[in-house]
Amino acid sequence: MKPRIIFLSAALLLTLGLIYSFTSKTNKHYTYAFQDPALGTEVRVRDLISKMTLEEKVSQMLNSAPAIPRLSVPAYNWWNESLHGVARTPYKVTVYPQAIAMAATWDRNSIHTMADYTAEEGRAIYNESIKKDKHGGYLGLTYWTPNINIFRDPRWGRGQETYGEDPYLTGEMGSSFVTGLQGNDPKYLKAAACAKHYAVHSGPEESRHKFNTDVSDYDLWDTYLPAFRKLVVDAKVAGVMCAYNAFKSQPCCGSDLLMNSILRDQWKFSGYVTSDCGAIDDFYRAKAHLTHPDAESAAADAVLHGTDVECGNVSYLSLVKAVKDGKLTEKQIDQSLVRLFTIRFRLGMFDPSDANKYNQIGKEALEAPAHTAQALKMAHQSIVLLKNENKLLPLSKNLKKIAILGPNADNDVSVLGNYNGTPSHIVTAVEGIKSKLSAGTEVIYDKATDFVADSLTSHDFTGTINKVKDSDVIIYVGGISPQLEGEEMRVKKQGFRGGDRTTIMLPAIQTELLKALKATGKPVVFVMMTGSAIATPWEAKNLPAIVNSWYGGQSAGTAIADVLFGDYNPAGRLPVTFYASDKDLPDFTDYSMNNRTYRYFKGQPLYAFGYGLSYSEFTYSALNIPATLKKGDALTVHVSVTNNSKTDGEEVTELYLSHQGAQTKTAIRALKGFERNFIKAGQTKELIFKVPANDLAIIDGNGRIVFAPGKIELSIGGSQPNKATSVSKKTVSRSIEII
């Protein structure tokens, strides 16, 4: 015992010496070294971990980490959400358009600002919670957002949470969100973002706990991983969430390839990884993966693959026994603890309140005027005008009678999407439209029908038709709702199951009603709310005006009305392909990208990815690129865009590349640049795009970037290139030879 006593005394003397050193340098007394803000984060983190028992360490690897009173470590719950504003909080907060709608803005700056404002409101909630000594769920600063899975199939109910079907657009919008949320302070994170669900994850919801994906290396690196790489390597996202599903027969949270080889070794990710909620249980749970015999084996394997925190409260409790049984070492537990506490220290959780500027953000940030203005701006920007025959829109405000119909016309649930907060006030379409009209306008509102019929029998709309047949215009606000599509829902209605859709067709009862409205001879405007692509072949052919407004957030109704009556000129673009029918889709469970999304779809879409109309007319000219370019070099593109109308407006300029005659598989075309610009009537703007060398390369069958010689066609304009856009000069194209 004597040598042990001497060793402990030496350790005690060292600790006292350190404390004396801290006291002499800062004139403040710290019980432990990790409490001193003057020390480096790594030193502080390792000092704290060295003082914890194995049991205490393991307790910190649950999403609801308990306090360690003897070390003055407060409790912390890692689980929080901020998909489009702070979610699930007891406070009133700003609710922005759903993620898929924000993608439809094609505006990096807008989503960056939105994320910055979201972090402000999150900080206000966190600061207020700390004052009240509250440390429960949905109060912390680690947000499990953004969802950057590729929306490969419109039937997936959670696709509304993503930035669409394209890896480039997803990576750009996701990066802007991350940098906005995390801030630019050299020491502190404003909040911590988390890229999810890693990886190759996009439904079906009913089988997400047990399905196994096995895609080609080409699809993995060409489609499923680029956005994750962008957020991890370039945007320096703080966290990553591993997905429920298995990949190549290993659960994603225990994947050799995804977690160890790619995320940690190749991308050098040093942040924290959380499991999806209950995902570790799926390793050994009946009717799930069953790749492991018990919780102890599953937990040990997940940690060895770099999963640092379990969203759950069962499996990781067995890690203490796993260490004692030799399935992993305490040092390997420490590695996870380093990553977890590094994030908490970077968030300032162990520093005096006056040391971190973000601690000064108060409740006045909640629903601040700038935030509510941004919510309206993004609702405006997200609206996609799909059809405007004979320029029916914008409507006159001097109408004698207007009818507003449909299940979404006055639905304050639909506009909020999912993973949402609650604002003080929600503007529905009915409220927004009424606000535009004079007191002399008669307004008829009637829900008319639900989203889906309870039976397949025909319906009698005589009463509704009689009320609206003498209206000057009929506005039908329909589509679908987050009440029907979303995460693992207990919904089983015609066309919907388990949160997913069994068909992409607009529910038949709505088409039936629209046909009856069309028969009145009155102009019908169809306003769709949706989180995904809806097939509307009859509507596209027969209705004069169609507006897609997604789930537009707290100001959705104002934005819709502004577009309908010309107070805002729409410029949103589709971040997903709107297919014509279910026949265009491969099997939902097929993760191969063959014939999926605009990049590989060989059919004719109803409305293409990148499509969207305006009240202005834009043309492109003076495309200037070199005739040849050395492989491995970047490309500079000059182009002029002119507003040829009498109406000021915004234009989204899209740049696509298509490899001609490549010896390996490539996309039909791929987005590699975009900008959103305001252009006055009659004005011409010269735009400059910088295309990095990697974006000119191809992915080979082994997933490697190859700088290959050959011809590339570059197209730039207000949508994807096709015969119609080329004739109208809405796009211009030119080939470049890579030598």
| Token pair listed for 283 | 């390793």
Does residue 147 sit in helix, strand or coil?
Answer: strand
Of 299, 306, 378, the residue nearest 572 (C-alpha): 378
**Distance, CA of 665 to chain centre:** 28
Angstrom CA distances, 484 to 155, 205, 257, 527, 632, stand at 12, 13, 35, 18, 48
**Could you please report the per-residue DSSP string of 294-327?**
SHHHHHHHHHHTT--BBSSSSGGGGHHHHHHTTS
Of 150, 147, 148, the residue nearest 222 (C-alpha): 150
> What is d(CA 622, CA 616) in angstroms, rounded to the nearest whole number?
20
Is 590 in the active site?
no
**Given the DSSP bridges, would you call strands 64-65 and 76-77 parallel, antiparallel or unpaired?**
antiparallel
Strand-by-strand arrangement of the 239-242 sheet: 194-198, 239-242, 272-275
- CA 547-571-225 angle, to 5 degrees, is 95
CB-CB contact of 637 with 714 (8 Å): yes
> What is d(CA 18, CA 208) in angstroms, rounded to the nearest whole number?
51
Does residue 715 sit in helix, strand or coil?
Answer: strand
> What is d(CA 580, CA 335) in angstroms, rounded to the nearest whole number?
51
Of 204, 333, 209, the residue nearest 278 (C-alpha): 209
> What is d(CA 308, CA 316) in angstroms, rounded to the nearest whole number?
10
Residues listed for the chain = 739
Is 485 in the active site?
yes
> What is d(CA 507, CA 480) in angstroms, rounded to the nearest whole number?
8
- CA 698-730-606 angle, to 5 degrees, is 75
* Buried-state track 723-738, b at ≥16 Cβ within 10 A, e below 16: eebeeebbbbbbebeb
* Single-letter code of the amino acid located at 110: S
Q: Where are the beta strands (DSSP E) in 644-728?
A: 649-660, 670-679, 684-691, 698-699, 705-706, 710-717
Residues 6 or more apart from 483 whose CB is under 8 A from it? 413, 414, 451, 491
The reply to whether omega before 197 is within 30° of 0 (cis) is yes
Torsion angle, alpha carbons of 714, 720, 721, 723, to 10: 180
The one catalytic residue in 367, 485, 650, 651 is 485
Q: In this structure, how many other beta carbons lie within 10 angstroms of the beta carbon of residue 466?
A: 10
Of 657, 642, 579, 650, the residue nearest 613 (C-alpha): 650
Residues 6 or more apart from 492 whose CB is under 8 A from it? 498
| Token pair listed for 525 | 């405007």
Angstrom CA distances, 362 to 117, 121, 657, 678, stand at 13, 8, 47, 34
CB-CB contact of 478 with 509 (8 Å): no
**Given the DSSP bridges, would you call strands 628-629 and 670-679 parallel, antiparallel or unpaired?**
unpaired
Angstrom CA distances, 384 to 97, 417, 464, 550, stand at 13, 17, 28, 9
DSSP assignment letter at 502 = S
The one catalytic residue in 120, 205, 219, 276 is 276
| Token pair listed for 7 | 């060793």
Indicate which residues carry an active-site annotation.
Answer: 276, 485
